[in-house]
Every structure is written in C-alpha cells, then in structure tokens.
Structure 1
C-alpha cells in the first residue's frame, strides 16, 4: 500500500504502513521539540532539523521561558473553557427536551439562497407554521464599537430573533423556550442558541440574541449564496396538561410534535390514510348521537 503523507509515494506492506506514516515518513507533520516550552512551530519532519537551528525558544532565559509557558497554558485553558461552554449548550438543549411542557415542536427553517441584508441590515427566513401560528426567523447585522480597541474600530456581529407574522392572530400570550441548531446540508457552522421569550399581542417578536457563527463575517456572506438550514425547536412552557399531540399515537406509533410538516399540503397527505380516517368516523358518530339525545 502507498503512504498517505502527501508527496511520499513509498509502498509498504499493510503491517508496516502505520509505523511508517506516524513515525518514519519524512513528510509527516511534527511539532517542535520545544513545543512544551511555548514554541508553536509545526511542519514536515524533513524540515525539523532546519527549524531546530533557528528556534528562538532555545535562546530564551529562565524568566522568559516561564512567561512563555504561562502564556501558552493560559491560551490552552481559554480554549478548553470555550469548548466546555459549547458542550454545556448542547447539554442545555438536551435538558430542554426532557423538561415538562405543553408541547415541543421542531421545524427545519430555510434562509433562501442569494439573500442580502436589507436597509435595516436584516435577512428573513421563509415563513413556517408551528403551535398554530405562522413564524419567521430574522438575522440582523449589528455594528458595535470595541471599547478595548484604542482606535475605536467597529466590529460587526450577528443577532437573531424569532416572531409571528403580522397576519397571525394571537389570542393568548406564549411562553417559549427556543433552541436554534444548525440544520442539514449547511456549510456555515454556528454554536447552539437557547433563549426564553414571551410573545404577546403587544410584542410579536422575541428579543435579539447573539448568533455565534464560526468564522468571519465574510465567510457568512459567502454562505448566503446557498441555502442556510436552521433547526428550530419551540418548547411551549405554558401551564396545563401535556397536549395529546405531544404523546405518541398508539395506533400509528408516531408523535406529531417531533417533526411536524411545514405546509398544509403535506398535512393532507399525512391524514389521508384511509385506516386512520375510519378510526375517527365511529368516534365522531357516537359523539353526535349522544349530543342529539
């Protein structure tokens, strides 16, 4: 078999391939010998001797090495803390799924390709139906001044909110816990978003929350050339008994609330099953018969 390290074309028996790729190949990637002391050089094994002669870490005195090691440890701790926060967000999403609530609805929401920010710096998703209302997701481009920067250079951040369309008629206020995750076939990465909000007649939109993308604003602008799919979870936190649609139907073995359909044409297909309709007819007939008496 042939070595997988770039330009190396050496052919070996499978039994010796791993040893060669990881420990012997001149084109394998290695770290500097003084990496534990703070040197961040990384390169090919064949270039390691050349770097060793030029490595500045070798020439540092004890106090300088100590400061460099402390800076390296602080950077590693910050990275571990960042990854821990991301893991905690996924754990929080899991706990929300386990929470007591009236209903949980999941929707795949689409930001259409080719969109650009409007005059107010906002892009909109396609409307989608959930909890008997029509919703929309908005992402806003916000410019903020960095107080830590002496030159007062503006930084661009993204904010997200969700709300009802104007034509949606809201009878009662909604207490929601909302989770936004990256949907399938989406190149733009971002960390999970969770927030609570209250939707009422006076305020049809949630508050703006941070939309923590991975990468720069330019990479996000490039991702708008194709569709962006968001997986939105709406948890109805109002008091009351759990909705019947939240529980799995014993006959069909499915739960309507997990991934409900996004348009009414699909809903017709879902309930067009003859067996399912035949189960409903006797129940309705008995109900009207009792009512007549």
Structure 2
C-alpha cells in the first residue's frame, strides 16, 4: 500500500473509532440532570419561595394568604390594599396576575400555603442565621444574641443601643447612674410629658362619665361618590336620634389629596352633623371606640363642640386609627362599624 493510500485511509478509521466512542456517551440533558449543582437557586426552599410569594409585593407572606379564583396568591396586606385602591377609584378590584375580579367573598384563604410558608427558612436580620419562619419572630425578639437592645438606664437619658450580648458590659460601665439629678432632668421631662398626655386623656374620660347624659350609638358608615368633576369617595351613616335631636356622621379619605390612590399613607377624617334645629347652644363631647359589631382598632381621642343654630357641623377630625394599614383595611370593607359615645350636661 502506498504512502498516500495510508494517509487517506487513516482518517476514515479514526472517524469510525470516534463514532463508536460517541455511542457510549450520555446525552447532554441526562448528564446535566445527574450533575450535582451547588447553586442556591436549585435548592428546594429557594424554588418554593419563588412559587409561594405574593403576586403583588413578590415577598413571602407573613400571615394570612389569599388567592383569587385562579389560585394566584396575595398576602393579606396587599390584598386589602388592592381592595382599598379599587374602592378609592370606584373601580372593580382585580387580580394583578390574571385580572379576574376579586373581593372578600370570592377570594379565599389558602391554609396549605400559609402552613408551608411558615416552615420555610428565613434569615434572622441580626445574626444572619436561618430559622423556620414560624419561630423566627421569637428568635429575633427573645433569643438572638445579636438583637438590638437598649440600656436599662434609657429612662434617664442613656442613648446606647447595641447587640444584646454587649448589654451587660455596657450597663456596668454606663455613666448615667452617676450623673447628678440636674443632668438627667431633661430626659425625665420628656418621659413625664408622655405620661401626662395619657393621664390627660384618662382624666377627660372620667370627667365625662360624670355628665348628666351619656348615650352611645353603634354607627355604620356606607360609601358613596361625590358629584364633583373628579368623583371622591365619601362615607355617611344613617340618621339616628339622641335626646330628641337628629344626627348623622360623615367621613372622607385623605382630604388634602386629589387622588388617594397615589398615596399609601391614607388618613380618614369624620364629622358629627346635627340635623335638628336648636334654639340654645348645645355643648357636646364625643369619642369613637370599637363597637361590638366591627373590629376597628382605634386610639381614643375626645373631641368637643358647641352646636348652635348656625353651627351644626363639627370640623372634620382625624379618625383615631392606629396606622394607615388599618385605614386600608376599613376601605376594603363594604361598611365601617364603630361605636360613638356622646356626653353632654343639662342646661
């Protein structure tokens, strides 16, 4: 055999050998499946976190989980915010994923997802260790050695805040106990001011309990739309009678903002309206509390107003809700229920 023939025949034999070797190689997809990966995105808890997260805020829910009729998940805060936004716009609330209509009657709690989320690991914000979500709050508040703690002498002005494990050493070296009374007076005055505000409220309520006439009414506010160019969301109660006079309560949302949907920090204000005619001035004090029907969360405030023939509406006062999230929760409801207590002395 000539040299050229040998050279030309050699590649053919090499290809035949290569083809035989390739026959025993695993397909690329199969090799990819069997090859272990250390990437975090392939961990089960990471994949479940992406599946069980809220469709609005894209975070894992901390408490209740609601779902639309197609099964898309929403945490309780985002769910009530969607309903509140739709109520403010006079629109129908829809699921942000599939646009199906949602409301408190059609959306249901998903207890299986709530239980599954509570078992997923979450990182402690102080020590960066992972714990099941159902025990993370207790760990951060009571057990974590890195949790932020304050000095026991903060009541006399010590501003120190640091890791819990450093608290004992700091308190042993803290200089505030050795300060003179004059030096700690500023801190005590601030503390006294807070206590005096609470006492002032309690004292006002106790004084009102000594009035001749005390009545309470369980009020239900129902929403309606104004006739303005930009329709505004307003609330009004049915008329009720107290001591021979006819009254009603009005309320509105975020008075100084044209479009309440552009602000998450919503505020509700209300006024008391006297619908009857009075010949003499009627001095009245009133307070809003949680009633037996609703579960509204309020921080009580006492308001006072003198009703006359020409002044029959109180100014709009701030509804004493605990925060803006509570306002969203009330907006998401069809009606708002609370108890109104009215005090006045006989003329």
Give the shorter-chain TM-score range. Answer: 0.3 to 0.5
Structure of greater Rg: 2
TM-score between both structures, scaled by the size of structure 2: 0.41
